[in-house]
Structure formats: structure tokens, C-alpha cells
Structure 1
């Protein structure tokens, strides 16, 4: 009890003083209270009732004020101090006086400090590197809750400082606060993974710039876009009050960020290096003309990429909270990149190239240009085959998209480096059995060499932050780094879970669920039950609901991929019901409230008042001695004092019967329901749940007024898809309007959009090859891919049109425009691809949420490069005519 008192009145108070800590939820340990355990026989002997004892205990624990008096120059307050301080004060409280002799509490009761009725228990087992297991089966824990929107890193640092202060200067010797699960561990691991990917991506981008430009000064100008864009985005996020998270940073493709600067600088270098007889332009004039030549396509291209992110801002619930900050981060970074490309890059070029420069011709690039020019002319001559190839590619994309070849899920799960295991026992499970199972499973899980430590919690906290009972057992399993796992598990968490699941399933009567600490909270918030996914059967009759739930479980058990099946049962709770016989009660002039008070106080214990010790407060509880309340028969003999002075037992006043009833009743939408929880492992979530829905719909007949809802991540996935299916077409229409505004031509806008649609082929194939499910994360990747693909088409089409204005034929314009834009297009594609390649290939902790996003963009850009340089010019020649709307001339031709 001493540890729990320190937790409640010292540790918790100090943690709450930390800025942005909103609460501390304690779990485990016996809570101290002052107990007055009454002997009912002594009450009879002295003619007392429980109500009289209750009143005297309450009346004899109070302070009062008597105003003040003045003595000289001072005001002196008058106070009556009557608070009880200890058990001695309580024992000597006078209940009545008989024949001049006071009757005190100690004459009829035992007064002692004791633990409250336990609602839960917390324990911890640690496995040392030597293999030694240290198990503590009853410890005190506290969960520190962060204020929503607060900076986690800063608060964690303050908490660690407070822990150090508690351990060194506040807590008594031999008592220490020891963190066992710390959000900063996961933040540190994910930060390391993301920064590692960013570093590799930036290096690859710079290398590509050097190789293609062959110009260190130009590469430096382009590379400076990255820090400028980051600072610009960070400033905008700060002003808007949006914290930059790891997903935002991980999804920031620096290749995409520098694309505009790549086009600008490449064009400037090309103009500066071209020297002609009679050309009197200064380097600054050439830089101005080169910048003016590409400023329009760069402006529109980056604007369209930002527009492509608009659907992300419409996402709601969990997916909205995850991806909206990412969309803001990317939008602000691209806006910064646009400002740098349009305004700063040309100015820097004028300083870096005061006397002009000579363009370095990469021999590999020169060879590619020669080969590409021949291949493109052949593709244009064989335009039917070229277009047929594009149509075939579109057919493949539609098949992959609509044919169910690629699995689906709501969101990829972040690997937290730990497990959260939940065991559900029968609803009537008591403290002894629940604790026994928790102790057994905790030691069992910690016996795995892959485990560092394991904690168990059974029941619920004393403060009521959870409403479960001793039938609910939960375990935090802290895993070692995968490199230290046994080879048999192949560093695969699913295999570890399968091995643990096989062991815990040997315990009879328990239903198990495997998740992760943060994921478990999110899943419960989304599904409404303690499980990843839930099927809820709604209706009125609880027995019918449980029967239908059992039938559904039997069907779902045969569905591949569905694991951790279990019904949240509500029936089967044994109760001893004391139903008041109103006629008997009227005979003795006793009302129902008197009976309720007797049962609540004598059997359950009733907190009457509190004992104050400095800043600590402990309940003062009145109840019968254990031997008079621990059995049904003893409770039946609890006696009430009637107004006539008779002693009447509960057996005389109540009809007592044993009945199995509901332990709790779940309601949602003003309807009762029974929940079935389950998880999906070894298969895509969408496919497994869809198959289960089809099977249940075909085989389960529900009574009139009953219905089934499929909740959790599956329902969230459907909502997100429905929203995107509405918003994405509107976004495409908006992009089409932007393209039409740029080209003033319906034809060219459609041509670019057709080219963009074919970029999906690579993204879908990448998902298929890497066995990655389609999720909201990969959907966001397709939106980003859409914008980058439009950029490629805009840059090429704009220059082709400019060549036509300068007098070139349609085919020559298409070929030479594509050839002249091959280098900037390849540069933009490669830097955008390689910028995310490390994230697409990463498997470290923290990479799971950004990997599908990166895979889609990398695969899509590879296919888009092929489509852009062959299909777009071919379609252009096919669609172009003599009366096309063309732009005004932008500078001189350099063909």
C-alpha cells in the first residue's frame, strides 16, 4: 500500500506539474483506505443500527470556523479542529452514551488500514541477457497522458527530468520510478529510419544532378532548393500551427522538390553554352531569356502537383489526421521550390555564371539521344503499334485495379518493435483466476528469447479510466531488435506471433488477440471493441444475438487469413438477486432504500468520509467483518432495525435467487449488439473481410429487425475510398481546367491526361511485384504520381508547341522537342524516383507507413518516363493539325 500511496500522492502530483501533461492513470497496487469492520452481533447487543454508526463517523470528522477575535493589533482566527488523523481517533469516536458510559467505535468494530477492493492488478517480468527471468507479480504503474497537439519530444524530455528529480531528491530510499514503455524509443527509431532515407535520397539526387549537368555550379544551385524549401515549409507549418511528423518528412520527395529548378537551370546552362556568330547577348540576357522560356511550364507544372494533393485535405478521421499534415508539408515545400525556381535560381545563375559557361556533353547521354531520336521516329511511323501498346498497358492497369489482383487494406501498420497481447476469459472470471492466468501468460511470453520484458494487467485501473473486469488480461511484450532473434523466425514478426499464439492457445477458456501498443488503441477507437476488426450483430434479444454471433464465428473461422476470432459474450454472469418483498417490507415499515443501503454498506462497503494526512486523502469505509458478508447465507442474515425496534434479516425482507444474467450490455445507435472481434494476418485485409461478408450474407438468416455491421479498419477503408472516389474526379477536372487555361486547347489537355493515366501502370505493377497492398498511403502516392506525370507532359508539350510556332513541321517539332527535353525530363524523373528509392526499399522501424507511398511513385515514374518520351510525341503527331492553338514565341530556338 505504501508504493500505491506514493504513486497517488507524490509521483502523480509531480508528473501532473509537468507542462502539457493532462493526467496520470495509475494501475496496480493496493489502494489504502481506513476500514471500520463492524461486528453485527455487537450492533444487536447495543441496539444500534448501521445508519447510526454511519452518522456518528461522519459527524466526528470535520473542522469548523468560529469567525475571529482581535488581540491588540492582530486578528486571530477561531477554528474548531475535529478531523480524525489515524486509527486511534476513529476507534475512540463516541457512538452513544449509556448510563454515563460512552460506547466507542472500538467496542463494536475493528478499525484498521487496509486495501480497497481490488479492481485490477499490474505485474512485470524482465528477461536479462543471461536468460535469467525476474518476475514481480504485483507492481504499481502509471500511464502519463500527453495533451492533444503538444510536442511529444519536449514533454518526454521534461518527464525524464522529473523522473530523475523524483529518484534523487523526493522519493524515499529504496523507491525508484523506472520507465518501462517510452514513446521516445519508437520516435527515436522511426526518426533514425526516416532521416537515413532522407540522407540517402538527397545524396542520390545530387549525384544525378552532377552526372547529367556535368556542372558543379549548376548542381549546387539546384541542390540549394532543398534547404530553402525545407525552411519555407517549416516556417509555414509553424505559422499554421501544424507539427511536422515523421510521415510528413518521409513522404517529402526531394527529387520532386528540385524538379522545377532542374528544368530552369538545365535550360539556363544550355542557353549560356550555345554561342552563335553575331550573338551580342550578355550572359544575364541569356539567363533572362532562358528563364522566361520555361517559367510558364514550370509554374503550371508545380501548381498542378500541389493541386493533385487537394483530395488529401478532404480525408477524415484517422487517415485525415495522419495524412493532412503530410499534404500541408508537401504543398508548402513545393510552394517554396516554385519561388526558388522562378525567382532565386536565375539570380544565383547570374552570380555563378558571370561570363557564361560551356555545356558538358555526357557521352552516355549523347548516345542515348541518338538512339532515342531513331527509336522515336520509328514509334511515330508505327504509330498504330505504339498506341496499341499504350492501350494494352491501360488494359493491364484496369485489370490490376479492378480484378482484385492487388490486395487492399486501410493503412499499413507501423512496426512499433513491440506487441500488445490481449486475453479474454469468461465474463464471470474473478480476481483470483484472472490474476493466475495473467501470471502464467506473462512468464510464458517472457520465456521467448526474443523478448526483453513483459508486463501484464488484469482488470481495470482504480480511477475508472477503463470499464473492463478481471476477465480482461493485457500484456505489453517488448521485443529485442530483429537482428537478435533466432534464425527460425527469419526476422519476421508474423512468425513470432504465430509461435506465441500457439503457446497461449493451450490455455483453456481464453480468446487471444495480437496487436501493437499504439495500434491497439487506434483499433479500439476505430472498431469500438478491443480488437483490430469487429462484426457487430444488432438486435433486441441477447440470447438470439449470441447464437447468431456463434454461427457467424463458425463461418468466419473457415476464411483464410482471419485470426484471433472471439465473441464478446455478455450472458453467463452469476448473480445473487435480493428482490425486496414489498409486502414484508411494509409490514416492518422498512422501505426499499433502507434495504439497498444495508446491502451496499454492510456487504459492499460505503465510503463515508475521508481521512486527511497532509495532502493525501484516504477513504473511511464502513462495512461488516468479512465472516458476516463473504457468503450468500451471511448476507441473508444482515439485519435492519425497523422503526418499531425489531431486528429484521434480509432473508425476511427479500426473495433471494441465483440467476445467470448479462454481465454488461453493449449499445450503439440506441440498439443492443453483440460484437465479434478478429484480426487479419497473412492476407490482405480487404480481401479477407470481403470474402467473410459474402459467406456470412449467404449463410446467415437474421430475424426481422436484426442487422450486421462490419466495423474497424475495413469500414474506415470503405469510407476513405468513397470520399476519394468523389474528390479525385473533381481534382482531375480542376487539373484539366488548369491545363486548358495554360494551352487554351481541349486537345492538349486531354493528351496530357491520357499520358498521366498510363503512369498508373508502373505504380500498380510495383505494388504487385513487392506484394504491397493498396491502402490510403499508396492512394496518396498515386495522387502525387499524378501531379509529377502532368509536369513531365507539360514541359514536353510546351516546347513542342514552341518549335511549331518557330516554323518546324509537326513531326519534326514532336521529335526535336522530345529530344531537346529528354535530358531535363530524365533528370526530373530520375531525381524524383531516386529521391524516394531509399524509402521504397527501407524495412526499418518507421518505414511501413511511407513505403507504399514511395513504391507507387518509384514504379509509376519509371513507367511514366517510357510513356512520356514515346507515347506522348506519337499521340501528338496523330492528334495535331494545322489549325491548332499555339503559344507565342518564347525566346530563340536552340535546336
Structure 2
């Protein structure tokens, strides 16, 4: 799912970068020859650039005067910057606000069709009383197809909302859910307020309609139901639980017609004859069809409801024997009510029972971690039974597993490309040292905005790694140029003062492109950060690491990278040679 969601973004960015690189070395030089003519203001005469350079050089000169203290301060900032790491939650994808809601309550098994219809009408009327609700359409039961296994116990109500500008002042989707949940409180009904599209995708993939689900697997449905009830009791104590419901996998009620073959044979009846009478009386039989224009409708004939609305009435169903006798169903069969599973679910060839958990005010990762600890202490599983945590948590675990090798692979590719360019392990290490400094701003901005770790945040961090390395490369290239120029001017024997001046000169010449690159990225992402509408929740999680990371990367890279470069070259001078061995 995460691949389908972010693959278009990855392809778009890759193609755009490839096209811009090709145009930068082909079309742009030609256009510069045509349009950049006449009096062009020199870089050192631009007032904005002069102001930036003057201020930057003052700060950099102070940092180079005390390089050890500068690095110690940078290390302290990095350590303190990672303080929020353990205080940020985790989730698969931030909850998308699709503009509408879906109400999916769950009731206990054994619900009659009439009661289900009444319950649906009551909930629809209650939801309609909220001013933000435009229309309500509820569905109970299922169509006559195997692709819709929804039982009577599961109601699906689509709640269409008015546009945001027509909502009450200060009303949000979260507040609206709380108000609806407090309004629709009925005995025996467990509420769940979800997003329509996302929930459909989750149910197709895992079968779980809530953010968190637990699948209990084992050989016996009675024991699975007992474990589910125990989970229901325990999970209510976990902070953040909005509602919890364990399916009653053995709580169904069935009317059993047990045909007594010997008694039926006395009347000349066989099993098929009696079954046909019961099927026709209860389920009906299509006797013909009516044609209305181009439409055809079947005509179904069955007994009136009062003849089949109880086991006692079913026992009185009339049967005509081949000999012309009129007898009742009770003469040849026993009609009883028995318990049994309302539905049988299985995964990996094992019987399953599901526990559905809706959460509020807490992220999925933190909730499941706390719930797993409590369940491990309070719920004892017999041999042969197991628990599987599912729902969005299942997606999140799979995404974490992928990111655990995608992120190192990305860094590995960056290292290889840097080494092919610089042919120096030391310079590659200097550039990679800026990545933790870039993450400081990302982590703090996510913490202040209340964002959780997710796949979208992981994509943002991957993009940040490339951009932060790009800024480091820009700085290091000019520092190298200043260093080689210094070696030529001093015949390979520069002094410490000359080295400081060369570093100041090289870093000062790169303040403008570094600031332009960073400002362009930050300003380009600000509309996404403060935008609204469907989909902005995901885009904000991608943009936040980039915005926060660029802010800290610029401030720290402009000071820390030249300082590290200065110490590295000083070490080379102390070794008695101006030129350090490569690698």
C-alpha cells in the first residue's frame, strides 16, 4: 500500500531532477548567452550578498578561532536535539480527512432483521441532528454475493458533511467525532467512526475496520470466544481506548429442523420432500417473473410471516403426504434452537476470532506497545492458541521492516557517489557528519507540531539526506578550491594563519548558493506545511523533516563543516606535509 501511495511521488521527483540536470548543462548556458547581457551586478557588490557575507564571516571567524569549543557546542546541540526522539509516536499513515465520515458500529450476534432495521433508523436519525451533517445513508446486512460477507451485526452508515465553511466556529473533524460518539450511545452497540475510503482499503487488506485489531487463532471456537471476551475486558483499561469489541464467534442462534427418517417414511415422505417444504415456506420460491419495460423482476412466493416467525409456528407448517394426508412438520421432525458460530473465519488454515479496537488521543505504535504489555501480563493463552496484532499496526510493522534496509541503502548509495567524486574517505566522512545536524531540526519540528513517525516522515527523511549532502558538497568543493589555491601560492608550506584565511575565503564565497538553495526549499514547502484539504496530512509529514532539517542544516553546516575542515587540514600540516595522503 505504501508503495502504491508514494511511487508516483518518487518517480516524479526522479524524472524532474534528471530533466533539470540535463537542462542545466545544455539549455541554460545557451539561454544565459542570449538574455544575460549588459551591465551585470557583481556578486561582491550585491547589497544582500554583502550583508549575508559580512555577518557570516564574523560568526565563522569566531568559530574558527575556537574550533574545539565550536565542535563541542555542535555535539551538545546534536545530543540535546535528539531528546524528543523517544517522545514522538509512530503510525503507518496519518489519518486522512476525506471530508466525510463512516459510522461502523458492531452489535452482538443474534440480532433479528427487524431489530437491525430499527437500530439503523435510530442511529440515522440521531446523526442527522448534528448541524454539520448534510445527509446520512445506512446499510445493514449484505447483498446476495460472496464478496460481501457483512453480517447483520455490522452496520455501515455513510455520513456526508457540509463544506467546512458552513461548520460551526471552532469545529474540527476530531471534535465532530467526539460529539457524534457522545450522541449515538445505544445499549449493546460498539461505535467506530472511520474514514470511508481508507477503511475500505484496510478491510480488503486485513479485514480489520478499526486502527488496531487482534486476531485470536486456535482449534476451538468456544475457547477463542473466551479469550476474546478477556481481551475486551483488559483492553478497556489501556489509555487511549475509545471502544473495543470482541466478536462472539460462538454466539449465534440457529433453528434446527431435525428430520426423523423413520416417522417420515411411515407417511411416504423422504428427506428431500420435507426440506423442500421448509425451504419454500421460509425462504420462498421464485414461481415466475414480471416484465416492466426492459426490466425483469422475480416473483417470490412464501408463507406469511406469522406462519414462520417462531420455532413453534414452524413446527405447525402443513405438509401434504403422497397419500393425501395433511400433517404438521412436527409429526416428522423436531424443531429446536441451537447455539453455533454466526460466521466462521479462518487464516492460515486456523479458526479465527477478531477483536476490534478504536483508539483516540494516542498513536498506534504507543497504544499497541502499552496494550501488548498489559495483555501479556493479564491474558493467559492455552497451548495451541496465538494472538496476531493487525489493522494499521500490521501495515506499520511491514513499513518499518522495509525502511530498516531502505534508509541504510540510501546512505550507502550517497557514500559511494561522494567517494567517486572526492576520492577521499575523510571528505566523505566530513559531509556525512552534517546529517545528524540536519536531523536535529527535523526532530524538533515534528515534536513541536505533534507529528508521529510514519511512512510519509520516512520519505521526508530520505529526501532530507540528499539535500543536506548537496549543501555539504557545495561548501566542501569551494573549501577544496581555496585549499589548493593556497598550496600553489605558498609552495605547499602554508601557515596556520594562511589556512584560516583560506577557509574563510572559501566558505564566504559559498554563502549565497547555500542560502539560495535552502531558502528555495523552505519557501517552496511552506504552502504545503500550512495548507489544508484532503491529502495535506500526508504531505505535511513529508515536508516537515525537510523544512526543519534545512533550517538546522544551514546554520550548523555553515559553521561546523568549515571548522572540521580546518582541523583536518591543520592535522595534515602537523604531519609535515601540506598535502594529506588520499583516503
1:334 aligned to 11, 14, 17, which one? 17
Paired residues for 1:492-891 under 5 Å: 492-505=172-185, 507-586=186-265, 590-607=269-286, 610-626=289-305, 628-638=307-317, 649-808=328-487, 810-880=499-569, 881=572, 882-884=578-580
Aligned to 1:386: 70
Deviation at 1:474, TM superposition (A): 2.3
1:461 is aligned to 2:143: yes
Deviation at 1:430, TM superposition (A): 1.8
Aligned to 1:369: 53
Paired residues for 1:427-446 under 5 Å: 427-446=109-128
Paired residues for 1:241-390 under 5 Å: 318-355=1-38, 357-359=40-42, 361-390=45-74
Q: Distance in 2 between matches of 1:608 and 1:358?
A: 93
Q: Distance in 2 between matches of 1:665 and 1:589?
A: 37
SS of the counterpart of 2:279?
Answer: helix
Deviation at 1:625, TM superposition (A): 4.9
Contact 1:483 1:491 in 2 (8 A): no
- What whole-Å deviation, never above 9, does each CA across 1:392-445 have from its counterpart, x for those lacking one? 2332354433xx211111101221222111222222212221121221221211
Contact 2:440 2:549 in 1 (8 A): yes
Residue 739 and residue 483 in structure 1: after superposition, are their counterparts in 2 closer, same or farther (change >3 A)? Answer: same
Contact 1:805 1:886 in 2 (8 A): no
SS of the counterpart of 2:237?
Answer: coil
Deviation at 1:610, TM superposition (A): 4.4
Q: Distance in 1 between matches of 2:288 and 2:425?
A: 81
Q: Distance in 2 between matches of 1:631 and 1:760?
A: 69
Deviation at 1:513, TM superposition (A): 0.4
SS of the counterpart of 1:759?
Answer: helix
Q: Which moved more, 1:820-829 or 1:678-687?
A: 678-687
Residue 381 and residue 338 in structure 1: after superposition, are their counterparts in 2 closer, same or farther (change >3 A)? Answer: same
Task: Structure 1: give runs of 5+ residues left out of the alignment.
Answer: 1-317, 888-895
Deviation at 1:356, TM superposition (A): 6.2
SS of the counterpart of 2:89?
Answer: coil
Contact 1:818 1:873 in 2 (8 A): yes
Q: Which moved more, 1:698-707 or 1:834-843?
A: 834-843
Q: Distance in 1 between matches of 2:331 and 2:290?
A: 36
Q: Distance in 2 between matches of 1:687 and 1:531?
A: 16
Contact 2:320 2:326 in 1 (8 A): yes
Contact 1:531 1:679 in 2 (8 A): yes
Paired residues for 1:37-116 under 5 Å: none
Deviation at 1:608, TM superposition (A): 5.5
Q: Distance in 1 between matches of 2:13 and 2:53?
A: 33
Contact 2:211 2:364 in 1 (8 A): no
1:491 is aligned to 2:171: yes
Aligned to 1:47: none
Q: Distance in 1 between matches of 2:518 and 2:277?
A: 80
Contact 1:782 1:857 in 2 (8 A): yes
SS of the counterpart of 2:579?
Answer: coil
Contact 1:598 1:640 in 2 (8 A): yes
Q: Distance in 1 between matches of 2:529 and 2:304?
A: 67
Query: Aligned pairs, how many?
Result: 565
Deviation at 1:729, TM superposition (A): 0.8
SS of the counterpart of 1:774?
Answer: coil
Residue 495 and residue 825 in structure 1: after superposition, are their counterparts in 2 closer, same or farther (change >3 A)? Answer: same
Deviation at 1:722, TM superposition (A): 1.1
- What whole-Å deviation, never above 9, does each CA across 1:807-865 have from its counterpart, x for those lacking one? 35544333221110110000000101111011112234431110111111100000000
Deviation at 1:622, TM superposition (A): 4.2
Aligned to 2:575: none
SS of the counterpart of 1:326?
Answer: helix
Task: Structure 2: give runs of 5+ residues left out of the alignment.
Answer: 488-493, 573-577
Contact 1:428 1:572 in 2 (8 A): yes
Residue 627 and residue 408 in structure 1: after superposition, are their counterparts in 2 closer, same or farther (change >3 A)? Answer: closer
The CA RMSD over aligned residues, in Å, is: 2.4
1:400 is aligned to 2:84: yes
Residue 482 and residue 491 in structure 1: after superposition, are their counterparts in 2 closer, same or farther (change >3 A)? Answer: farther
SS of the counterpart of 1:849?
Answer: helix
Residue 374 and residue 820 in structure 1: after superposition, are their counterparts in 2 closer, same or farther (change >3 A)? Answer: same
Q: Distance in 2 between matches of 1:587 and 1:432?
A: 39
Q: Distance in 2 between matches of 1:679 and 1:385?
A: 51
Contact 1:814 1:873 in 2 (8 A): yes
Residue 642 and residue 823 in structure 1: after superposition, are their counterparts in 2 closer, same or farther (change >3 A)? Answer: same
SS of the counterpart of 1:807?
Answer: helix
Q: Distance in 1 between matches of 2:332 and 2:580?
A: 99
Aligned to 1:105: none
Residue 753 and residue 609 in structure 1: after superposition, are their counterparts in 2 closer, same or farther (change >3 A)? Answer: farther
Q: Distance in 1 between matches of 2:84 and 2:212?
A: 26
Contact 2:228 2:247 in 1 (8 A): no
- Tell me the TM-score normalised to structure 1 length: 0.60
Deviation at 1:649, TM superposition (A): 4.3
Which of 1 and 2 has greater Rg?
1
Q: Distance in 1 between matches of 2:317 and 2:122?
A: 38
Contact 1:743 1:749 in 2 (8 A): yes
- What whole-Å deviation, never above 9, does each CA across 1:244-281 have from its counterpart, x for those lacking one? xxxxxxxxxxxxxxxxxxxxxxxxxxxxxxxxxxxxxx
1:471 is aligned to 2:153: yes
Contact 1:430 1:471 in 2 (8 A): no
Q: Distance in 1 between matches of 2:157 and 2:281?
A: 36
Aligned to 1:158: none
Residue 383 and residue 583 in structure 1: after superposition, are their counterparts in 2 closer, same or farther (change >3 A)? Answer: farther
Q: Distance in 2 between matches of 1:536 and 1:572?
A: 17
Q: Distance in 1 between matches of 2:287 and 2:304?
A: 17
Q: Distance in 2 between matches of 1:646 and 1:397?
A: 91
Aligned to 2:490: none
Residue 632 and residue 321 in structure 1: after superposition, are their counterparts in 2 closer, same or farther (change >3 A)? Answer: same
Aligned to 1:159: none
Contact 2:224 2:249 in 1 (8 A): no
Contact 1:611 1:617 in 2 (8 A): yes
Deviation at 1:764, TM superposition (A): 0.5
Q: Distance in 2 between matches of 1:687 and 1:455?
A: 34
